[in-house]
Amino acid sequence: EAKRAGRGCLRFFDPAMQAAVEARSALEAELRTALACRQFQLVYQLQVGDRSAALGAEALVRWHHPQRGVIGPTEFIALAEETGLIVPLGRVLLEQVCEQLCAWERDADLDDLTVALNISARELHEPDFVDFVLATLARTGAPVRRLKLELTESALVGDVDDIAARMHRLRDHGVGFSLDDFGTGFSSLSYLKRLPFDQLKIDRSFVRDILEDTVDARLSRAIVALAASLGLSVVAEGVELAAQGDMLREFGCRQFQGFLYGVPMPAAEFSSVLRAARREAGAVV
Ligand code: C2E
Ligand code: MG
Ligand code: MG
Ligand code: MG
């Protein structure tokens, strides 16, 4: 672009733009180091069913930066996707999730928990994605039926038949699929016909204003009805207030996730909080 603009074009030397380019490549270099130094850890956020019974957790990545402390995924996932680093990162995270599932499997108080892991488009479209997931499950001995993969609508672009084939191979082994951030993308409903999802996830943006905004309330109710008529389960994300959960329950939603039930926590903390709650409740939770 600088070339086409001709000689004497100062845009290329715009200090702000230059600084942004440098910051980006610095972050990319740091991401590579972080991966090699195992600075990525998953935190787990509770997902509950009827009467707040714990069903499992969504795993969410955190970067433990040696200088900057804990960094959330919104600050680095997009760059990891653009650079392709999401592929090796995703593999490390899948291994972590499988090891966690094994640890819970060995724990009589927690052996029924499921884990949902977010998968980016780049990961799903890797030629050996399915082989890697199946090999990791087999190598770790993780309970396959307890693993759920969350895909967003943006991951579903491209060859839908190929995506369907990948999903079917994993589903044949017992892996579940949830359609994350449902209703926020621009995909057509025909994806629901062609791809074997088990669950729709109502996006936080609908839940946030559900009590004040009748359109958000109606859309949430419509998503619950759509899921029911297709035989899919539905989980609402971003539930912060009891009244939001009550309204969603009235619409027929039976699974919930959000700060109301629990914030994302490191595995050890998640396990001990849940174990204590279950023992106190006589294993009802
Ligand atoms: P997501 O999959 O939709 O995850 C839900 C996000 O909402 C998480 O943010 C979670 O901490 C946040 N959240 C949960 N409950 C509440 C609530 O009640 N109120 C509010 N305000 N927020 C809530 P987080 O951890 O920052 O993750 C952001 C996004 O980054 C995720 O959105 C997902 O798209 C992506 N992501 C996170 N972990 C991974 C990962 O391991 N792999 C990939 N590929 N993407 C990931
Ligand atoms: Mg998710
Ligand atoms: Mg989501
Ligand atoms: Mg969301």
Report whether 203 contacts 223 (CB < 8 A): no
User: Which pLDDT does position 63 carry in this prediction?
Assistant: 98
- Beta pairing, strands 147-152 & 176-182: parallel
pLDDT at position 183 is 86
**Pocket-testing residue among 35, 91, 118, ligand 1, by greatest number of atoms within 8 A of Cβ:** 118
Question: pLDDT value at position 135?
Answer: 98
Give this prediction's pTM: 0.93
Q: What pLDDT is recorded for position 23?
A: 87
Position 52 scores a pLDDT of 86
Ligand 1 atom with least separation from CA of 240: 18
Residue with the two structure tokens 């892996």: 175
Output the residue whose Cα is nearest ligand 1's atom 12: 238
Residue 279: per-residue pLDDT? 86
The amino acid sitting at 115 is V
Compute, in angstroms, the gap from residue 65 CA to the centroid of ligand 3: 24
The response to whether residue 77 sits with its C-beta less than 6 Å from ligand 1 reads: yes
pLDDT at 280: 83
Query: What is the Å distance from ligand 1's center to 3 Cα?
Result: 41
Beta bridge partner(s), residue 150: 118, 178
Contact 277, 285 (CB under 8 A): yes
Atom of ligand 1 at shortest distance to CA of 80? 44
Token pair, residue 211, equals 């009590």
Task: Give the max Cα distance, the chain.
Answer: 76
**Ligand 1 in contact with 114 (CB < 6 A)?**
no
Cα–Cα distance measured from residue 283 to residue 285, given in angstroms and rounded to the nearest whole number: 6
Encode the chain (285 residues) as per-residue pLDDT tens digits: 444 555 555 566 788 888 888 888 999 999 999 999 999 999 999 999 988 899 999 999 999 999 999 999 999 999 999 999 999 999 999 999 999 999 999 999 999 999 999 999 999 999 999 999 999 999 999 999 999 999 999 899 899 999 999 999 999 999 999 999 998 887 678 889 999 999 999 999 999 999 999 999 999 999 999 999 999 999 999 999 999 999 999 999 999 999 999 999 999 999 999 999 898 876 556
Q: Which helix (H) or strand (E) holds 245?
A: helix 242-250
Query: What pLDDT score was predicted for residue 1?
Result: 47
Phi, psi of 185 (to 5 degrees): -90, -165
CA distance 261 to 258: 6
Give residue 238's region: left, alpha or beta (phi > 0; psi -120 to 50). Answer: left
Any ligand 1 atom below 6 A from CB of 45: yes
Residue nearest to atom 8 of ligand 1 (CA): 60
* Partner residues linked to 63 by β-bridges: 40, 71
**Class of residue 92 by CB neighbours under 10 A (exposed 0-12, middle 13-18, buried 19+):** middle
The predicted structure's pLDDT at residue 119? 98
Q: Which atom of ligand 1 is nearest to the CA of 117?
A: 41
Are the beta carbons of 81 and 122 closer than 8 angstroms? yes
**Under a CB-based contact definition with an 8 Å cutoff, are residues 249 and 242 in contact?**
no
Closest CA to 28 of 86, 92, 67: 86
